[in-house]
Each structure stands twice: as structure tokens, then as C-alpha cells.
Amino acid sequence: MLPTTSTTHQSDAESGIGWPLRGLAYALAGTMLGIAAMLATPPLLSGAMDIAWLPGAPPFHADVAAVAVLASLALLTRDTAGALSRLLALALACLSIVSLFSFITHPELRLAAEASAPLSFSALWSGHMGPVVGIGALLTAARLYVSVSKRATIGNVPLGWSVAMTLVALSITLAIGALDILPQAESWTIHAAALPDGAVILLLMGAACAARTFHASPSIAPIQLLAGQSVVLIGGIIASFILWQANVASTSLPLVPALSFTACLVATYMIAGLIALAVRVMIQQRAMAEARAALQASNDLFEAAARSSRLGIWDWDLQTGDLLIVANYLQDSNDRSLLASRTTIAAFTELMHPDDQGMVMQRVNTALRQHKPYEAEFRIRRDNGVYIWVLARAEATRDEAGKPVRMIGSLEDVDQIRRQMNELELQRQTLEEQSVKLAETAQALALARDAAETAHKAKSSFLAMMSHEIRTPMNGVLGMLSLIQRSEIEPALKRYAEVAHQSARDLLGLIDDILDVSKLEAGKLHIEAIDFDLRPSIDSVVALLTPRARENGNQLILDIAESVPEHVIGDPLRLRQILTNLVGNAVKFTEKGTVTLTITATPLQNGDFMLHCAIRDTGIGIAPEQQLTLFEPFTQADISMTRRYGGTGLGLTICKHLVHLMGGEIGVISAPGEGSTFWFTVRCREDVELTAKLGLQEPKPQPAPQAPTAANDASTLLPPRPIEADIADLVQQFDRLAGRKPQGGGSTGGGVTGH
């Protein structure tokens, strides 16, 4: 809200800087200083009148000039140096009193003064200004002696304005008297010569005091009040002097003019005072009306707040037992007015629920005894007989002896909150029961899960332990079928033996995959770290899968970078197993295309390096949504793939586990109809000692490097082996499965599913 004009002026007055016409008062004070200087040679008005009416030169009036100087300096220092201003005002009062006393005791001041006759010191500095100027100067001194008001009020503004208007009226009266006296005298008198200059000084002092007093605020001093006071005071004072002059001329009794003058002057001030009093009463009535309106608005606000917030108040007189309750929500009626019910504490206690009465009285006694605030929540009966929950708070007021005399507090309707709390409590109990049931269910599920995990681990451990027992009969079958194929038998039996041999190999591959997954799940498959030659291991995989590639009309290409170390430390068996699975899948799902195996290496610290293998084919490709579950167990890209190409879907799962065990990663990049690229990395270590040892030997002539060769070339094929070599390999395999050290030499060709 923006401040009004009266509020702004009042705020300025309170800060001590804000009488609106203070600058005008300073200007009038400066004018008085200038007139005081001009009074020296000659006096302002009386000096101009000697040409027209009277002979001679008027004398210099030092006391009038001193009044002008003291009044102007007191006005100028009133805001900045209050002590000095009051000291100057006190000096002005003393000068006024001395002048009045001198005028009474020196009758020669009223005699004629020749221009050639020099004045004495006492005649020069006392009594010239006469009684009117002396009284005006004394009023000015009294006004300036009062310290600056910090606040403009309906008391100090009319009083200061009355003083100012009195000075203005005296100046006008003095001017009229001067015009009446001077032309009738035969020559100058010291007192008569000072009348015009005194009138000017009185007028300036009255105007300066009015400027210091004026405050145009309708709530403090309306313009009508100031105008009425001005008219009454100026007119009444002038009328008093005119009446005094008329009585002096008409009667010889000196008491009659004095009484008439006094009566008229008293009437004037009484009328001015009545005007000020009437305006003051009017202002106070208006302020009271505004206060009543504000109080009514506050009551309306309280009533609205009490209705909306359902909050009441109560006052309990502990001495008499009287109780005042203001709470409209306790009444069951259509009356929306605020209820003020006067009752007794005994009647109010009967409205409480019987189960709550003892608790409430106990808390009241505890609060009174321990000097603490009272608070209690209980049920109370409304007019319709329904109990509602309320919250009572209060504090006790005590007398000088510390004895409690009253308790005043609030009474809040908390019935809805209490009902909601009860509902929440029921919900909490229900949730606790449900949580107990959920905990029991979770415990049962945990037991079932533990049992399932135990059974799963037992199954995996059993399969891992039974790997030799399962593989041994199959290897025997394969060996015997190989011997039958190499013996001299009928062609039809040889074809039967070939079919049986291939079926047994496929079955052995399936068994190997299942057993490897069981080992991985049981945590019994470990990665070895042995010395081996990397290139022969990779060549054995290519040689193994070349015939299958030829059957599908594919070209198998091997590309090994020159930076790949030759002698490494790792697990050659698992590396060949990963390559066999990935290259075999590429050959299986590609027809009349190309399968490329690319090998690179990235050196690491301390002789380690990361081996990168990528198998790219031009086969059918894999859809993006099918790539998400490609490495999960028993999963293929499409169910139709199983019917067409066969397989268990465990090969990629085994590859993923083996790659992670070897410190690498595996992934696929593919799109339908655009082929696939399976890549993986494994962490290996270069056999630095073996490489250095071979470097000291004399190098053998190496053939010129050739471009990557196709698997259909003759260099990638193995020569036919005699049957004795197959028998020797079969014996070594039996020895290894039985846990015996192999006897004799034999080839080390990689298999599809070695372990």
C-alpha cells in the first residue's frame, strides 16, 4: 500500500527533518538579518518618512536590531544546534523584558529627540521598541525556546500557529498605530520612530514561526482550522487595540480602556481555542471511527478465520469458576455468527466424554502446579449429542503472589485429523500383517530358491564329475567305428560304419557342450597357462574345418598379422575350442560364400598382449533383436535354425564364459542378409625366454610371405594318415580319459570339443 500525504509528512516530522516550509523559515530569518543591518543608516521605514512629514533624522534603534538578529539566529540554528538556539531564545526573552521595564521606567523615551542631540548608551539600547514589540519578541523567544517537535500532533500545531498569528496581528496593529501616531507629532520621538521598524520585524518573525509550524495534514491540523484561527486571532487582536484606542479617546477613566482591551483579547483567544478544540474533537472522532471500523474488520476476520479453521478460544476464571467459550463449531445450527457462550467449568466438564474427564483434570492440575503450558486432547459432546475430538491449549495468568487466577487458551477442532489418524493406524496394522505374510512368503521362496540352487549345483557337480564316465564309452565307439572304416569290408557296411561314426561324433559334440556348461556353472573349469605355438594351433582349427567349408561351397581364409607373437603362454585347448565353435558356426550358416578369420594383437605391459580374433562370413546374418539373447544358453537366432542346421545352442554360451575366464570380451556385428562378424579378445603373454632362445639360433630360410590363402588351396589340406596313427591317437585318448600319462608320441590335432 502506498503511503498517503499525511503519513509521509508525519514520518518526516518524526525523523526531525520534516516541517514542509522549513526552507521558507530560513529565508525569512535571512531577511531579518538584512533588515537589522539596514536599520543602522537610517531606519528602513521611519527614515523614508522624515521627508514627507517630520523634520530631522530619526535615531538608530539598537534594541530593535538586536531583536531581529537574535530571532533570526535562533531560527537558523534551531535544527542543527538546538542548545545554541535555545540560548539565543533565552537572550531574546531577557532583552524583551529589559526593554519593557525600560519603557515603563524611562518616560523620556516618549519625548522629542533632536537630530543633533546625542543619545546615551542606555537610551540607545533599551526601550525604543515599546510594549507591543517587546511582547511580540517575548512570545517569539518562548516559541523558539521549546525544542523541535519530533512529531506533528493535533496539540503542538494549533498552539504554534496561534503564536505565529498573534505576532502577525501585533505587527499589523503596530503598523496601524504608527500611521496614526507619527503624522500627529510635531517632531520625532525615540519610541515613535521605532514603530515602523518593529512592525516589519514582528511580521517577519510571525511568518517564520508560521512556516515552522505549518503542517497540512487533515488528521493533525486541517487547513480550515489554521484559516479559522488566523482570522479570529488577527481580527480579534486588531479589534482589541482599536477598542482600546477608541475608549482612550472617549473617556478619561484609564480603567475602561484596559478592561475593554482585556475582555476583547480574552474573547479572541477563547474563540480561537474553541475552534482548535472543536477541530481536535472532530479529528479524534474520525480517528475513533476509523479504529472502530478497523476493530470491526478485525472481528469479521477473526469470525471468518474461526469458522474456516474451526478454532475457538476460552477464558476460565479460576476464582469464580466462570468459563467463556467462543467456538461456533460446537453449536449445531444454521446461525453462522460467532458463538460466545458463558458457562461454568462444571457444566463444561459434563460435556466431556466420561473416559477423558480424569485425564483432563490431571493435566490441568499438573500445568498449574509446575508452571507449564496446558495441553490436552479429549472428546466433547456437541448440541446434537455427537462427540468430537478437540485440542485444548492454555497458559495461566498469575497475580503478584504467583497464584494462578485465570487460564486463557484455544480450543481447536481436531476430529477429522483424529479420525484420519485412526484410519492410518488401521492401515498401518493391515500393512504390518501383510508385511509379515510377505516376509513368510519371501522366506519360503528363499528356502525354495536355496533348494533349487542346491539341486542345480548338485546336478552341475554330478555332470562335471561324470564327464570321463560319459565320454569314455563314446570314444570307444568312435575308435571301433574308425577301425571298421579302415578295414577291408563290403562297401555297404563301410557306408553304414561312416554314418554311425558321424552320428557318434555329433553325439559326442553335444555331450561335450553340455558337460562344459555344467563345468562352467559348477566353477570347475579352469584356464591353464602353458607354452604353445600360436600359428600351429590356429592352423589346426582351419585344417579341421576346411572339409566342412568345401561341402557348403565356401572359401575359408586365414589372415594373421605379422605383429602377432609366435610363442605364447596361455590355454591352447580353450582357444582352439572358441575358434572351432565360431568358425564352425560361420561355415554352417554360410553357403557358397566366404569365411575370413583375422588375427591381430595389441601389446600391453609386462609382456602381455591382447589377442583380437574376428570371424566374418557372408551368410544369412542376424536381426538386431535376436542379437540380444544370442549368447544365452540353449538359444539360436530362430527356431527354424535348429530344425535346419541342428545344434544345442550352447556353443556361443561356452565361448562367452571361456572368453571372460581368459580376460577378454566377445560380441557380434550383424544385419539380416549381410553376413555376420563375431569378434573376441583374450589376454595372453608372449614367451619371451623361448623367443630369445630361438633368436640366438641360426635362422632357417623362410619362404616369402604370401597373401592370405583360401581354404580350398592344397596348402591348407592334410595328407591322408595311416590307420596305425589313428590307433595310436585312440590309445593316447583312452589313457588321458583314464587319468594315465600318455605313452608314446602322436599327433596333436585340435578337436571341435576338446576339454
pLDDT tens for 276-303 read 777 777 777 887 888 888 888 877 776 6
The pLDDT confidence band at residue 607, using thresholds 50, 70 and 90, is confident
- Mean pLDDT calculated for residue range 711-727: 43
> Who's near 346: CB < 8 A, 6+ residues apart?
321
Q: Which residue has the cell 559348477?
A: 522
**Highest mean pLDDT (candidates 53-67, 148-162, 181-195, 700-714):** 148-162
- Mean pLDDT calculated for residue range 320-338: 67
Least confident span in 13-22, 185-194, 260-269, 278-287: 13-22
> Could you tell me the three cell numbers for 341?
457462550
More confident residue, 697 or 240: 240
**Could you tell me which CATH number the domain at 310-413 has?**
3.30.450.20
More confident residue, 705 or 341: 341
169 near 209, Cβ under 8 Å? no
Residue 599: predicted pLDDT: 93
pLDDT in tens, 60-119: 677 788 888 888 898 888 888 888 988 998 988 888 888 888 777 766 555 554 444 555
221 near 19, Cβ under 8 Å? no
Residue 26: predicted pLDDT: 85
Triad 160, 166, 167: Cα angle to 5°: 95
The rounded mean pLDDT for the chain is 75
Residue 683: predicted pLDDT: 92
pLDDT in tens, 648-692: 567 888 899 899 999 999 999 988 888 899 999 999 998 877 777
Residue 117 CA to residue 108 CA, distance in Å, equals 13
Residue 677 CA to residue 102 CA, distance in Å, equals 132
The pLDDT confidence band at residue 3, using thresholds 50, 70 and 90, is very low
> Who's near 558: CB < 8 A, 6+ residues apart?
538, 539, 542, 597, 599, 708, 709, 711, 716
- Mean pLDDT calculated for residue range 719-733: 49
Residue 182: predicted pLDDT: 54
- Mean pLDDT calculated for residue range 7-21: 43
> Could you tell me the three cell numbers for 472?
569314455
pLDDT at 713 over 50: no
Q: Which CATH class is domain 526-696+706-718?
A: alpha beta
The domain limits of the chain are 9-112+122-211, 310-413, 420-465, 526-696+706-718
393 near 312, Cβ under 8 Å? no
Q: Which residue has the cell 590356429?
A: 538
Strand ranges (E), 350-436? 374-381, 387-398, 404-413
The pLDDT confidence band at residue 329, using thresholds 50, 70 and 90, is low
Residue 666: predicted pLDDT: 92
pLDDT at 555 over 50: yes
Residue 46: predicted pLDDT: 43
Residue 359: predicted pLDDT: 92
Model's pTM, two decimal places?
A: 0.40
Residue 661 CA to residue 526 CA, distance in Å, equals 8
pLDDT at 747 over 70: no
pLDDT in tens, 380-436: 888 778 888 888 999 998 888 888 999 988 888 888 888 888 888 889 898 988 989
Residue 81 CA to residue 256 CA, distance in Å, equals 47
pLDDT at 177 over 90: no
Residue 509 CA to residue 387 CA, distance in Å, equals 84
pLDDT in tens, 559-601: 999 889 988 999 998 899 899 989 988 998 899 899 999 999 9
- From the CB of residue 318, how many other CB atoms can be counted at a distance below 10 Å? 17
3-state secondary structure (DSSP) of residue 395: strand
141 near 98, Cβ under 8 Å? no
Please report, to the nearest 10 degrees, the dihedral formed by the alpha carbons of residues 579, 585, 588, 590 taken in order.
-100
pLDDT at 716 over 50: no
Work out the burial of residue 15: count CB atoms within 10 Å of its CB; fewer than 13 is exposed, 13-18 middle, 19 or more buried: exposed
